[in-house]
A and B are shown apart, each in its own frame.
Chain A
Amino acid sequence: MFTAACTFVLLGAGGLVTSHGAGLAVPDWPNSYGYNMFLFPPSQWIGGILYEHTHRLIASFVGLLTAVLALWLWGRETRGASKWAGIGAMVFVLMLMGVRHMGVYQALAVLALPVIVAGLVQFFRRPDQLRWLGVVAYAAVILQGVLGGLRVVWLKDEIGIFHGTLAQLFFVLICLMALRTSRWFAGLNREGGGGFRLHPLLLATTVLILAQLVLGATMRHQHAGLAIPDFPLAYGEWWPATDPDSIARYNQNRMEVRALNPITAFQVHLQMVHRLMAVIILAAVFASGWMVLRRLRWRSLAGKLGVFWMVLISVQVALGAFTVLSNKAADVATAHVLAGALSLVTGAMLCIVYGRSPKSAPGAVLSGLSERERTASALATGPAT
Chain B
Amino acid sequence: MKISPAVVLFTGLATFSVAAGDITGTVTLQGTPPAEIPIKEIKADPFCGKLVTDQPTTRFFVVGPNKELGDVVVMLKGISGKSTGATAEPVVLDQEKCLYVPQIVALQTGQKLLVRNSDPLLHNVHLTPKEKANETANAGKLNLPQMEKAPDLVYTFPAPENFLRFQCDVHKWMFAWVTVVDHPYFAVTGPDGKFKISNVPPGKYTITALHRKAAPNGIDKEIEVKEGADTTVDFTVELK
Measured CB to CB, the residues of A under 8 A from B are: 20-28, 33-34, 44, 46-49, 52, 152, 155, 245, 248-249, 251-259, 262
Cα separation A255 to B58 with both chains bound (whole Å)? 8
Stretch at the interface among B15-23, B169-177, B218-226: B169-177
Cα separation A105 to B151 with both chains bound (whole Å)? 32
- Give chain B's interface secondary structure class: loop
| Inter-subunit contact A262/B122 (CB<8 Å) | no
Question: Min CB distance, A259 to chain B, in Å?
Answer: 3
Question: Min CB distance, B56 to chain A, in Å?
Answer: 10
Cα separation A367 to B121 with both chains bound (whole Å)? 64
Chain B residue numbers with a CB within 8 Å of A253 are: 34
Cα separation A67 to B98 with both chains bound (whole Å)? 42
| Inter-subunit contact B126/A46 (CB<8 Å) | no
| Inter-subunit contact A257/B37 (CB<8 Å) | yes
Question: Min CB distance, A256 to chain B, in Å?
Answer: 8
| Inter-subunit contact A27/B145 (CB<8 Å) | yes
- B36 beta carbon closer than 8 Å to chain A: yes
Cα separation A276 to B235 with both chains bound (whole Å)? 43
Chain A residue numbers with a CB within 8 Å of B122 are: 33, 44, 46
| Inter-subunit contact A245/B240 (CB<8 Å) | yes
**Residue ID in chain B nearest A152 by CB atoms:** B143
| Inter-subunit contact A27/B124 (CB<8 Å) | yes
- What 17 new A-B contacts, CB under 8 Å, besides A47-B45, A255-B58? A21-B169, A22-B172, A24-B143, A25-B124, A25-B169, A26-B124, A44-B122, A46-B45, A46-B47, A245-B240, A248-B240, A252-B214, A253-B34, A255-B36, A256-B37, A259-B172, A259-B174
Cα separation A46 to B142 with both chains bound (whole Å)? 21
| Inter-subunit contact A258/B173 (CB<8 Å) | yes
Chain A residue numbers with a CB within 8 Å of B34 are: 253-255
Contact of A255 among B48, B60, B167 (CB under 8 A): B60
Q: Taking A248-B240, A257-B37 as contacts, is the C-beta distance between A24 and B172 under 8 angstroms?
A: no
Chain B: residues with Cβ within 8 Å of the partner, total of 35
Q: Taking A24-B169, A33-B145 as contacts, is the C-beta distance between A251 and B213 under 8 angstroms?
A: yes
**Residue ID in chain A nearest B36 by CB atoms:** A255
Chain B residue numbers with a CB within 8 Å of A33 are: 122, 145
Q: Taking A253-B34, A255-B35 as contacts, is the C-beta distance between A21 and B172 under 8 angstroms?
A: yes
Kindly identify, within residues 167 to 225 of chain B, every residue whose CB is under 8 Å from any CB belonging to chain A: 167, 169-175, 213-214, 216
Cα separation A35 to B239 with both chains bound (whole Å)? 48
Kindly identify, within residues 114 to 151 of chain B, every residue whose CB is under 8 Å from any CB belonging to chain A: 121-122, 124, 126, 128, 142-145
Chain B residue numbers with a CB within 8 Å of A152 are: 143
Q: Taking A251-B216, A252-B213, A257-B37 as contacts, is the C-beta distance between A155 and B170 under 8 angstroms?
A: no
Q: Taking A46-B47, A46-B122, A155-B142 as contacts, is the C-beta distance between A257 and B170 under 8 angstroms?
A: no
| Inter-subunit contact B240/A252 (CB<8 Å) | yes
